[in-house]
Amino acid sequence: MRRLVPSLLLHAALVAGAALTLTPLVWMVSASFMPSGAANAVPPPFLPAHVTFRHYIELFTHLNLARTFGNSLFITVTATLASTVINAMAGYAFAKLRFGGRERLFQVLMGALVIPAQVGMMPLFLMVKGIGLVNTPWAVMIPSLASIFGIFLIRQFALAIPDDLLDAARIDGASEFEIFLRIVLPVLAPILVTLATFTFLSTWNDFMWPLIVLSDDAKYTLPVALANLSGEHVQDTELMMAGSVLTVLPVLVLFLAMQRSYIRGVMMGSVKG
């Protein structure tokens, strides 16, 4: 009985917090279904009086957001697949393969985590221009293909693989690559899923770099196209909300599907090795 009041208060606070957190997102979805101009009312409506799909239709027809969605999807999926493999190989090497300079090299990489990405953005743009990849999806992928944080995460997880397991396979005559493929990857599977989710989310949501590197609206990713639209259609609240829903929906769905894995990854990432 003594616990009832504190428990009620606690849950009231939790629910209030949840409501405040979700309100912007719920309003975003709700407004996307309102007829044009309905959201600009005093007081602002929370639910649509009449539901309309017009804005979504306009996004896909007149504004060609399907193509933009496709661009984002192609770039994100490709970068996620490639980077997961690349980071896994490097992370495993740092954890389990013995070679000279291993610890020092790893420390250099960790130290580099402090450097903000923007420092190199301008020269990187000129580099990308030099190799003729400006305004292509490959240019957008470049910064996402290998990630120091990803390597760190994999290494953390891979450290737990028992050495005897690997040595036994070596004695049996397996090559390092076969060991990686047959023994290590299956063991790393959970963290690979986590890392892939991380990479998908961050690549999908990336804004500043695609903004810089893409100049053709046929090649835009969703965040860039959305920012572009918002410059022109400031007055069209409901249309912009529909665009936002379209951009946020895939990552939200992915997150909800993978939440356990993803959340565990975040919490793991905070544990310093």
Partner 1 sequence: MSRTSERVQQRAAWGFLAPALILIGSFFFVPILAGLVMSFTDFDIYSIGRPDTIRFVGLSNYHQVLTSSEFWHAMRNTGFFVGVGGPLSVLTSLVAALLVNSKLARWKSFFRTVYFTPVVTTMVAVAIVWRYLLHTRYGLINAGLGALHLPAVDWLGDPHWAMPAIILLSVWKNFGYNMLIFIAGLQAIPEELYEAAELDGAGSVARFRHVTLPSLAPTFLFVGVMTMIGQFQIFAEPYVMTQGGPLRSTVTVVLLMYEQGFRWWRMGLATSMAFVLFAVTLVATAIQLRLQGGRR
Partner 2 sequence: MIRGRRRGIAPGAAAALALLVALSGCARRDTRTTLRFWGMGREGEVVSQLLGGFERENPDVRVVVQQIPWSAAHEKLLTAYVGRSTPDVSQLGNTWVPEFAALEAIEPLGHRLEQAPFGPGSFFRGIWDTNVIGGRVYGVPWYVDTRLIFYRKDLLARAGYDSIPPTWSGWLEAMRAVKREVGPDRYAIFLPLNEWNPPIILGMQAGSPLLVDDGTRAAFDDSSFRAGFDFYLDLFREKLAPPVTGNEIANVYQEFSRGYFAMWITGPWNLGEFRRRLPADQQDDWATSPMPGPRGAASGISMAGGSSLVMFRDSKHKREAWKLIEYLSRPEVQLEFWRLTGDLPGRVETWRDTALAADPKMHAFEEQLRRVEPLPKVPEMEQIAIRLQDWVERAVRGTVPPDRALASLSDEVDRMLEKRRWLRAHGRLDGSTP
Q: Which two tokens stand for residue 42?
A: 């005093």
CA pair distance 191, 185, nearest whole angstrom: 10
Neighbour tally for 191: CB within 10 Å? 24
- Asked if 172 touches partner 2 (CB under 8 A), the answer is no
**Smallest distance, Å, CB 13 to partner 1?**
6
Q: Report in angstroms how near the CB of residue 43 gets to partner 1 at its nearest.
A: 5
Q: Taking CB within 5 to 8 Å according to partner kind, which of partner 1, partner 2, none is near residue 180?
A: partner 1
Tokens representing 11?
């849950």
Angle at 267 between CA 158 and CA 251, to 5 degrees: 100
Choose the stretch contacting partner 1; rule: CB under 8 A; options: 63-71, 73-81, 93-101, 187-195: 93-101
By CB under 8 A, the residues from 5 to 44 that bind partner 1 are 6-7, 10-11, 13-14, 17-18, 20-25, 27-28, 31, 39-44
Q: Provide the mask over 150-189, with x wherever binding to partner 1 is found by CB under 8 A and - wherever it is not.
A: -x------------------xx---xxx--x---------
- By residue count, the chain amounts to 273
Q: Is residue 40 within 8 Å of residue 237, measured between CB atoms? A: yes
Distance CA 263, CA 181 (A): 26
Give the footprint of partner 1 on residues 97-136 (CB under 8 A).
97-100, 102, 109, 112, 114-124, 126-127
Task: List CB contacts of 36: < 8 A, sequence separation 6 or more.
Answer: 54, 55, 236, 238, 239
Q: How far is CA 203 from the centre of its chain?
A: 5
Site for partner 2 in 57-96 (CB under 8 A): none
Query: Toward partner 2, which CB reaches closer, 52 or 135?
Result: 135
> Least distance in Å: CB of 90 to partner 1?
4
Question: What's the sign of the alpha-carbon dihedral 43, 44, 46, 52?
Answer: positive
Which member of 59, 143, 157, 220 binds partner 1 (CB under 8 A)? 143
263 binds, among partner 2, partner 1, none (CB under 5 to 8 A by kind): partner 1
C-alpha span between 154 and 229 (Å, rounded): 38
Task: List CB contacts of 77: < 8 A, sequence separation 6 or more.
Answer: 200
| Terminal-to-terminal C-alpha distance of the chain | 44
The item of partner 2, partner 1, none sharing an interface with residue 213, based on CB under 5 to 8 Å by kind, is: partner 2
Please name the residue that has the structure tokens 């009086």: 49
49-79 as b/e: b if 16+ CB within 10 A:
eeeeeebbebbeeebebeebbebbeebbebb
Number of residues that bind partner 2 (CB under 8 A): 16
Segment 113-142, which members bind partner 2 (CB under 8 A)? 125-126, 128-129, 132, 134-135
The entry of partner 1, partner 2, none that residue 127 binds, CB within 5 to 8 Å by partner kind? partner 1
Q: Under rule CB under 8 A, which residues in 192-221 are in contact with partner 2?
A: 212-213, 215-217
Give the binding site for partner 2 (CB under 8 A). Answer: 125-126, 128-129, 132, 134-135, 212-213, 215-217, 227-228, 231-232
